[in-house]
Chain A
Amino acid sequence: GAGVSQSPSNKVTEKGKDVELRCDPISGHTALYWYRQSLGQGLEFLIYFQGNSAPDKSGLPSDRFSAERTGGSVSTLTIQRTQQEDSAVYLCASSLGDRGSQPQHFGDGTRLSIL
C-alpha cells in the first residue's frame, strides 16, 4: 500500500506477557518514528530511526521497551512483561530525509489493551 501500515490493529493481552508491534513505513522513507497516545493525552515520542540506527531513544519509558528496524524498512516495537499502564495506542510514522526536514506520515496505530 501507499501509506504506513501497522499490525496488528488491536492487541489484547494479559499482564506480564510480551508483545510485538510491527510497522511497515512508506517505501523510500528513511526516517521512522514510534509514538504512544493515551486517552486525552498528546502523542508521546518513543524512538526515532534513521535507516537502521536509532539516534534518539530518549522517549522509551523503561527497559521493558525496545525497538529495532531492519533493512531500512520494517520496524518492530517490543514490550516485555507488559503492565496495565502500557495500555495505549501505539502509532508509527515515517518521513523522507532527516528528522525535522519533512512532515511525518502516520499509520492507524495498534490499540494495545493489557488485562
Chain B
Amino acid sequence: EDQVTQSPEALRLQEGESSSLNCSYTVSGLRGLFWYRQDPGKGPEFLFTLYSAGEEKEKERLKATLTKKESFLHITAPKPEDSATYLCAVQVKASNDYKLSFGAGTTVTVRA
C-alpha cells in the first residue's frame, strides 16, 4: 500500500536556527513529489515539484531535495513568517492517470 510519512509532527525553532523536515514514501510508480505550505485557516499553497532523485529546488529560505525513498525540506535561517504546516504529497499511479497522496504534515513554529 502506498504510504507517505512526514516527520517530525511538530518542530519548534528559534529564529535563525536551520533545520530539515522529512517526507518518506513507499509507493509504486512514483511520478513526482510536491511540497505545500499551509497557514492556519487557509488552503495549501504550492511550493515545489520534484520528479527525480538528486533533484533540488529552492525558494527563498526553503530548499527541497529528493532521493529514491524520501524528500527533505531544508529551512535555512528561518524567520517567524516561515511558521506554517508543511505538507508533502506524492503522485501515485491510479487506474488511468496519477493522483496525489498527502502526508499528515509537519507544523513548524519559529520564535523571534
A residues lining the B interface (CB < 8 Å): 4, 40-43, 45, 48, 55-56, 91, 93, 98-100, 103-109
Contacts and interface: CB of A to CB of B under 8 A. Distances in A.
Contacts, number: 54
A-B pairs with lowest CB-CB distance, top 4: A100-B98, A106-B43, A42-B102, A43-B102
A55 B97 CA distance: 10
A42 B4 contact: yes
Contacts of A100: 31-32, 91, 97-99
B91 A42 contact: no
Given A42-B87, A108-B43, A103 B99 contact: no
Given A48-B99, A99-B97, A40 B104 contact: yes
B42 interface: yes
B91 A106 contact: no
Nearest to A35: B102
A103 B46 contact: yes
Nearest to A45: B99
Contact of B46 (A105, A107, A108): A105
A105 B105 CA distance: 17
* Chain B interface, DSSP helix/strand/loop, else mixed: strand
Interface in B39-86: 41-46, 49
Contacts of A42: 4, 87, 101-105
Give the bracket for the number of chain B residues in contact with chain A: 20 to 34
B97 A104 contact: no
Interface in B5-52: 31-32, 34, 36, 41-46, 49
A94 B94 CA distance: 18
Contacts of B45: 106
Nearest to A104: B100
B41 A108 contact: yes
A103 to B, nearest CB: 5
Contacts of A4: 43
Contacts of B4: 42
A98 B97 contact: yes
